[in-house]
Amino acid sequence: MTVDLERVDTKYMRITKKQFQKIEKIGNEYQGIPYLMDKAYEGDKTRNLAGNYGHKPVVPPNKNRSDPWEYDVELYKRRNTIERLFRWLKGFRKVFTKYDKLDSMYLSFIQFACIVKWSN
């Protein structure tokens, strides 16, 4: 994954160039991982963007597509597990409203909530 640091809009991001370079390095390690997408994002641009970052988009084509593609049906069904996890996390008011000022505190609470969920 190559990203032009000058073209990245960091207006709403709290990230330094050094942190961004670390993220870029980590991103290269995760290339090839399937990217489970919602049917609403099955457009050509979105699938190409995922492919440009080295991921394999897993999304069913719309029924009216003239040239449908093959996708892993069983893997797409697992997307439901991820959706339920996010719905469960939104049950925590602190996650839903994002009261924390620091991103690190917000992430810590999400990790804590997941530990509580998986330990039960």
pLDDT at 31: 72
Measured distance CA(63)–CA(41) in Å, rounded? 14
pTM for the predicted model, two decimal places: 0.56
3-state secondary structure of 84: helix
Query: 76 pLDDT exceeds 80?
Result: yes
Average pLDDT of the chain?
76
Token representation of residue 112: 């804590």
Closest CA to 42 of 26, 13, 62, 15: 62
Strand ranges for the chain from DSSP E: 34-36, 56-58
pLDDT at 14: 56
